[in-house]
Amino acid sequence: MIPEISITCSTGKVFINSITVEQYKKYVVLMEKNGYDRITDAMFFNKKITQEIFGNRMSLEELGEADAVEFLTAAKGIHFIMQSIISQKLLNVVEVEQVEKEASAFDEYDIENGYEEEQPEQDTWKTCGEIIDRIVKIAIRLLKNSYSQCMREDIVALLEYLKFELDTIEENGG
């Protein structure tokens, strides 16, 4: 269950109380593109994210005219749901373990002399996108749904169901 988020626009108050797989995928794509430091770019991406999550029921212009506190509260709520609730459930399904590389006294020397290449930083949102794509493939096989049906599923309910199925796979003779 996720908290309800609402915002008032020219057509009235709109709200969300669930997130679909498709909305999460769109959020991940936008977050992957949002690498800008300028406040205007950040505001644009927050408007675009809010627009997508609310199902395009308001234009970017309407969002620009919305009460600033209400808009920022909605955007912060969306980020909280996506990053603290859904991403946590996503990681619980795949049980990702962080592997830390031990530092060596020779690491810098090795990189400088070409013995080892500097490891690029892994993009968190690209990884989330790859994980959600794999989860959609699993859901299609497990639920025998089409891709479009999976995209319309409530992501929290889907992740909880997949976690249950994976946890009980031995009990079911898998």
Mean pLDDT by 10 residues, the chain (174 residues): 88 92 95 81 92 92 91 95 92 66 66 62 80 91 91 94 85 64
Please count the helices (runs of H) and the strands (runs of E) in the chain: 9, 2
Rounded to 5°, the CA angle 59-61-67 comes to 100
Residues in the chain: 174
Residue 91: closest CA among 146, 30, 134: 134
Burial of 103 (0-12, 13-18, 19+ CB in 10 A): exposed
What one-character DSSP code corresponds to residue 32? Answer: H
In whole angstroms, give the CA distance from residue 108 to residue 64.
48
Confidence at residue 31, expressed as pLDDT on a 0 to 100 scale: 92
pLDDT of residue 123: 78
DSSP 8-state assignment for residue 164: H
Tell me how many degrees the CA angle 130-135-140 measures, rounded to the nearest 5: 130
Show Cβ contacts of residue 29 under 8 Å, excluding neighbours closer than 6 positions. Answer: 125, 129
| CB-based contact 89:160 (threshold 8 Å) | yes
Dmax of the chain from CA atoms?
63
> Helix, strand, coil shares of the chain as percentages rounded to 5?
60, 5, 30
Query: How much is the pLDDT for 34?
Result: 81
Burial of 158 per CB tally in 10 Å (0-12, 13-18, 19+): buried
